[in-house]
Amino acid sequence: MQKRTLGNSGLEVSAIGLGCMGMTSAYGPPANRQDMIALLRAAVDRGVTFFDTAEAYGPFANEELVGEALAPLRDRVVIATKFGFDIDLQTGERRGGVNSRPEHIKAVAEAALKRLRTDHIDLFYQHRVDPNVPMEDVAGAVGDLIAAGKVRHFGLSEAGAGSIRRAHAVQPVAALQSEYSLWWRGAESEVLPTLEELGIGFVCYSPLGAGFLTGKIDEHSTFDSTDFRTAVPRFAPQALKANMALVDLVRVVAARKGATPAQIALAWLLARRPWIVPIPGTTKLHRLDENLGALAVELTASDLQEIDEAASKISLQGERLPENALKMTGL
């Protein structure tokens, strides 16, 4: 398995990680627990060392799953989890909005350690920026957890360039996690240059556009009522129909390379920067193997130029998140 280091942090992870959210939430009913434990352990057997979860996924169910699956393999893996939503730590009730008060961050860390069955969190992200808590206070709280040995590295998720700079000045940020793919490239204008300047890694969630870039979704696709994509503007039938031009482009490159569209989408991300690590999620072993196959796909400078030139001529439709969720992002 190829490895990558997240910026200047020294945190080394597999070049492709595994996003675990969809195993318990967001994409319809939870998958079978024992099947997911087997999938997580199979990923480790294949060399995956980087696993992404969060208290909000469930809430709590995802961390509990990851903890059970990876506890016997703890010395072989890097576990990333998150704090920052206003969730009752006893009941799991979502109270709405965000909460990054320092005392809450520390309580979330203690609860996550128990659910993950570990004595340290390798990478602890602020899930969303809290406009009511100075970023310096957030970074300081995570710094305290690092000093106590409960957290190894500090991360941010969906933060803008200004927030990244403020946090990094107090406690070095190892990685930013945000959406990035051929379908959504909003990080390229300000965030990517900031990460490069500061030596911060970039962990890309939804690197396959929540499944769209696999070529398995079109305007006739339907989703379970509990699938978040039912509320996402870019998954509306008309937007999907318009955006298929991007999938067609990826298919052309895939055919030439003897690869799948998903593998081309991931290979494109891997070619952008050596400190970019995509974390595609899946509940299927054959999809895990397909995604890892992207590491064997080499896109030349000519391939990348062709993709960028063709993509620049495609007018993509639909916001990437519902309006209320977009308000909580800094990109």
Per-residue pLDDT of the chain (331 residues; tens, 9 = 90+): 999 999 999 999 999 999 999 999 999 999 999 999 999 999 999 999 999 999 999 999 999 999 999 999 999 999 999 999 999 999 999 998 999 999 999 999 999 999 999 999 999 999 999 999 999 999 999 999 999 999 999 999 999 999 999 999 999 999 999 999 999 999 999 999 999 999 999 999 999 999 999 999 999 999 999 999 999 999 999 999 999 999 999 999 999 999 999 999 999 999 999 999 999 999 999 999 999 999 999 999 999 999 999 999 999 999 999 988 988 887 6
In a domain, 258, yes or no: no
Measured distance CA(140)–CA(85) in Å, rounded:
18
| Beta strand 173-179 pairing with 201-205 | parallel
Measured distance CA(112)–CA(124) in Å, rounded:
10
Q: Please count the structural domains in the chain.
A: 1
In a domain, 257, yes or no: no
Closest CA to 266 of 281, 278, 274, 275: 278
Measured distance CA(53)–CA(40) in Å, rounded:
12
> pLDDT for 46-62, tens place per residue?
999 999 999 999 999 99
pTM, two decimal places: 0.97
In a domain, 230, yes or no: no
In this prediction, residue 27 carries a pLDDT of 95
Question: How many CB atoms within 10 Å of residue 326?
Answer: 13
Measured distance CA(18)–CA(35) in Å, rounded:
15
Residue 54 burial (CB < 10 Å; 0-12/13-18/19+)? Answer: buried
Measured distance CA(48)–CA(40) in Å, rounded:
9
CA distances from 265 to 8, 115, 235, 272, 304 (A): 26, 33, 18, 11, 11
- Domain that residue 73 falls in: 3-211+272-297
In this prediction, residue 331 carries a pLDDT of 66
In a domain, 59, yes or no: yes
Catalytic residue (choose from 57, 125, 180, 205):
57
In a domain, 218, yes or no: no
Question: How many CB atoms within 10 Å of residue 151?
Answer: 26
In a domain, 256, yes or no: no
Closest CA to 158 of 194, 192, 129: 129
Residue 27 among the catalytic residues? no
Question: CA triplet 10, 206, 3: central angle to 5 degrees?
Answer: 30
Q: Are 61 and 30 in contact (CB under 8 A)?
A: yes
In this prediction, residue 133 carries a pLDDT of 98
In a domain, 263, yes or no: no
CATH of the domain at 15: 3.20.20.100
In a domain, 216, yes or no: no
